[in-house]
A and B are shown apart, each in its own frame.
Chain A
Amino acid sequence: MTVAVDDRELAEAMRQEREELEKTWARPRGLWGWFTDTDHKAIAKRYIFTAFVFFLLGGIEAALMRIQLAFPENHFLNPDRYNQIFTVHGTTMMFLFAVPIMTAFGIYFVPLMIGARDVAFPRLNVYGYFVYLIGGLLLYAAFFLNTGPDAGWFAYVPLSGPAYSPGKRVDIWAQMITFTEISALVGAVIVIGTAFKMRAPGMSINRIPLFVWAQVVTAFMIIFAMPAVMLASSFLASDRLIDTHFFNPAEGGDAILYQHLFWFFGHPEVYIIFIPALGFISPIIVTFARRKIFGYVPLVLSLISTGFIGFGLWVHHMFATPIPQMGQSFFTAASMMIAIPSGVQIFCWIATLWGSRLDIKTPLLFVLGFFAIFVLGGLTGLMLASVPLDLQIHDTFFVVAHLHYVLIGGSVFPLFGAFYYWFPKWTGRMLSERAGHLNFWLMFVGFNLVFFPMHQLGLNGMPRRVYTYLPETGWGTLNLIASIGAFILAAGVLVFIVNAIWALRAGVVAGDNPWGADSLEWSVASPPPNYNFHNLPVVQGRYPIWEATADAPVLRGLSTKTRETLVTSVMDAQPELRFDIPGPSIWPFMVALATGVTFIAGIFTPWAFLVGAILAGITLTCWFFADPNYENKAARDTGEKSHKVAPRAELQPKEI
């Protein structure tokens, strides 16, 4: 039964609530705040910024390599420097840029898209970021001290073993892997927990945005893939530190075992980088085509099947080792099969675009660029799946071309589209469209100029990972073209940076929903308030904003005095309980520090792990017992269902 109240009274009550929420969800300030803040948006922005800095470093390394390879017998870099640079380039782009930046988008937008106030484990989130930061700093500190790893981003044994890589270079690599593994696993757990248990009422599993689906599939892939590389890098580290012989053929170890473990992670890794980008494409297309996505169910099933098939084709990285005929056929078939879900997605997107009146803004332009580049990369992927053909083009520049077509086309182009699309949500300001178009065309032309000639170079016999080549090989011209392209590509990235800095100061102010988009993150202010939603939305369809009616219900009854959020059921998002989310704390940072000390000291002595266990034990104990919400009543009292909580009737909006 509703009681009529007059509008002014209602508005005043709402304002008071918002003030209370502001106070409850206030973020700590200053330097201390930087170490303790648990706000998912702040952490995600930090992740994105850090990962972008690593992207620039990786890009500079790429440019140095292209200068070296521009001419035959060039002396710009010596072989030692070159080998370190290509190793650090690959490692940076895979582990320090691509995976974290994709997870960061999930951490920022999953709660906003599903109508939650924060992520499921905000403190774990802080821990994940600092572990990642320590890993990245370790790698670059070592690199600048001329101790950068030089055995390739894959660090094959025996080359990376104690006999052929003395010193600490490879250990730095192996431990950096450990850090990024931990951080990726933490991110995955957070995304799954948030997406499965914190969706707004009404967002049943068949209404989850495609962006969130992509993040969930990726998170599950991380959980299954990362342990394999953890095993590989830990075995390698123990071979090097305490003289085990996991990979030493002379003592009964097996060099090929390492490759299986590495690629069982390494191939799914490609999809871990690429699937979140597919999640960027769907919302951009829906927004600019101004219609519902064509084939929501096939798109979701494609994402999930890509996640499964992605684990069945690691061996195509190892066809030359070699593999028996029967196994070859299986892995060829599996590698080709993955083209089916990819194809279905591309077709559904094109079908969505068909017949729509498009306004080609920069985000959409990047998606169109994705179509051109990724389809080409996918087709060369089919060639690499074929064992006989692979034996010719494996480990040549053809593969360099292929992998950049797939990863830059499949991930970086959608990522830049996503930057342009969501920048207004992060900052409240629009990026310049004119600069955006320039940015796109420079990147698109530059990219193709760098990588297309590499297909030809590979067929012409140029192997990968060579610091130079003889003039007689005739590879000079194409390499020079590629090197020129690299600078055009770099100019494109530079335009983006200038555009972003300019927009932060003087960009057009964006409203809540500048693109007229459909998903929940656009229903809140830009940038969103600390508590995300004043009233949690009740979702009525797959396109909550487009389908919202004037009398759309909202959820009332969550406390404004504690960081309360709603836990809902996995399938139907039925409210289950109210849950107090922990707030700022210094202890996650302390645990990250303990982890850092342990693994970095572990490069030099196995005793580090004993000391580290004690340090971690102490800091973890403090983390849990210093929790102000430890004795939280709502958390313990799981029987209390939120729908039983009587909303304060007088504050119900009049329409209901």
Chain B
Amino acid sequence: MSKTTRTIPRLILTLVLALCFASCFSSCGGIQNAINPAGPNAANISRLWWLMFIICSIVFVLVMIAVLLSLSKRTTEAADRVPVLEPSEESERRRRNVVVSATTITVIVLFVFLIASYSSGRSLGLNDPTKNGLSIEVTGHQWWWEVRYQDVDASNIFTTANEIHIPVGVPVMFSLRGADVIHSFWVPNLAGKKDLIPGKINTMWIQADKPGVYRGQCAEYCGFQHAKMALWVVAEPQEQFNLWRQNQTQQAVAAASDVQKRGQQIFFSTTCVMCHAINGTPAGSNIGPNLTHVASRHMLAAATLVNTREHMAQWIKDPQTFKPGNRMPQNNLSDADLQALVEYLQSLK
């Protein structure tokens, strides 16, 4: 009997532990969190999550109670000495009723989930994005995001990387492409994910209701540096967004000081120019991120490093330390040259 008395409390203890764990679901927050929604899409899905979470928890607890109840009668007699039971007709009928009703309830729960899921899915697709002119094309590269703001006016089209600004309160159309392998665009606070597939264009709309910074990350395994392929979405009021956009459409500021001029010269005389573009200068390659307004971005290296002078210098000198395997080579620049280059790049607001 001692075994009997030990097992049930242990099972109950485990159940309690599981419930404690479950309670940590209620803690939400953070800028990369699916149940801390900042837009209608994510809010919609978050509601669906809570519905399913609550119903599933109830089902789980009920099934566990049924299992625990079945353990109420115990014996320590060796199994082979206990005679085989012949349950009565009556008790078998009771069991049948219970099993049939439990199955019926299962079917009903499934229908509730199905309808909830369907209606939630419909409202994700309903919003008409054409009413707003803003359309952003995101292209996934190994391992960074190319971001291109489309416009009917060609002079308003511009390209940036790894940081997307959107106005608060209006739906924005995203068209998603893959340049090399499959990536997946996912900003959990705003919406679910969608794949960027070479040879296809996927579209989705995103709307942020609260101003703020939201972090997203590639969600489809895309090779070596899948882990460090993140991006920021900055949601800001319309006027602020317009200012930002106005600035981004400009060409790069000219190098003013001597140091900056020297930095620009270094940019053109080393490997930098092979991959990066700076609009308004002869640098036009689009293998790496466009650097026309690099100093205006919050982060470097696909949202891996905060954009400071020190980080930028370290990154240029030895990118392989921060993101081993990424496509940017090491640059053996003298300290003075490196400082000049950083001085120039940090002037590109």
Contact = CB atoms under 8 A, between A and B. Distances in A.
Given A372-B67, A388-B192, A80 B45 contact: no
B311 to A, nearest CB: 13
Interface string B176-210: 00001110101010011111011110100000000
Contacts of A456: 24-25
Contacts of B304: 470
Interface in A338-396: 339-340, 343-344, 346-348, 350-351, 353-361, 365, 368, 371-372, 375-376, 379-380, 382-383, 385-396
B50 to A, nearest CB: 10
Contact of B48 (A255, A336, A386): A386
B80 to A, nearest CB: 3
Contacts of A368: 11, 67, 71
Contact of A546 (B10, B84, B110): B84
A359 B197 contact: no
B271 interface: no
Nearest to B6: A437
B56 to A, nearest CB: 4
A156 B195 CA distance: 13
Contacts of B92: 294
A356 B184 CA distance: 52
B75 interface: yes
A57 B64 CA distance: 33
A386 B52 contact: yes
Contacts of B53: 383
A325 B121 contact: yes
B77 to A, nearest CB: 6
B227 interface: yes
Determine the interface band of chain A, counting residues with CB < 8 A from chain B. Answer: 35 or more
B131 interface: no
Interface in B1-51: 3-4, 7, 10-11, 14, 17-18, 21, 24-25, 28, 30, 32-35, 42, 44-45, 48-49
A469 B227 CA distance: 7
Contacts of B118: 329, 332
Q: Which among A392, A441, A469 has the highest number of chain B CB atoms within 10 Å?
A: A392
Given A356-B73, A359-B79, A386-B48, A459 B25 contact: yes
B63 interface: yes
Interface in B53-83: 53, 56, 59-60, 63-64, 66-67, 69-71, 73-83
B215 interface: yes
A164 interface: yes
Contact of A466 (B14, B74, B142, B227): B227
A288 B218 CA distance: 49
Nearest to B230: A470
A287 interface: yes
A336 B110 CA distance: 6
Contacts of B63: 346, 350, 371, 375
Given A159-B182, A356-B73, A388 B117 contact: yes
Interface stretch (B100-108, B251-259, B274-282): B100-108
B268 interface: no
Nearest to A351: B95
B91 A347 contact: no
Contact of A452 (B18, B80, B184, B194): B18
Interface string A152-189: 10001011000110000000000000000000000000
B325 interface: yes
Interface stretch (A31-39, A137-145, A512-520): A512-520
A332 B227 CA distance: 30
Contacts of B121: 325, 328-329, 387-388
A391 B197 contact: no
B187 to A, nearest CB: 9
Nearest to A465: B221
B33 A459 contact: yes
Contacts of B217: 461, 463
A291 B74 contact: no
A452 B215 contact: no
Given A320-B184, A461-B215, A463-B218, A290 B84 contact: yes
A298 B32 CA distance: 45
B85 interface: yes
A448 interface: yes
Contacts of B69: 354
A496 interface: no
Contacts of B188: 392, 461
Given A294-B92, A389-B117, A383 B49 contact: yes
B203 to A, nearest CB: 9
A153 to B, nearest CB: 10
Interface in A311-337: 320-322, 325, 328-329, 332-333, 336-337
B193 A395 contact: yes
Contact of A353 (B71, B82, B83, B102): B71
A59 to B, nearest CB: 22
B45 A388 contact: yes
B10 A388 contact: no
A343 B67 CA distance: 13
B60 A340 contact: no
Contacts of B181: 156, 158-159, 164
B223 A391 contact: no
Contact of A322 (B35, B114, B202): B202
Given A79-B325, A159-B182, A388-B44, 14 more contacts: A151-B223, A158-B198, A351-B95, A357-B75, A358-B75, A360-B3, A386-B120, A391-B191, A392-B193, A394-B193, A444-B14, A461-B34, A516-B80, A516-B82
Interface of B: 3-4, 7, 10-11, 14, 17-18, 21, 24-25, 28, 30, 32-35, 42, 44-45, 48-49, 52-53, 56, 59-60, 63-64, 66-67, 69-71, 73-87, 91-92, 95-96, 98-99, 102-103, 106-107, 110, 113-114, 116-118, 120-122, 124-125, 142, 180-182, 184, 186, 188, 191-195, 197-200, 202, 215, 217-228, 304, 324-325
5 contacts: A78-B324, A158-B182, A353-B67, A395-B221, A465-B226
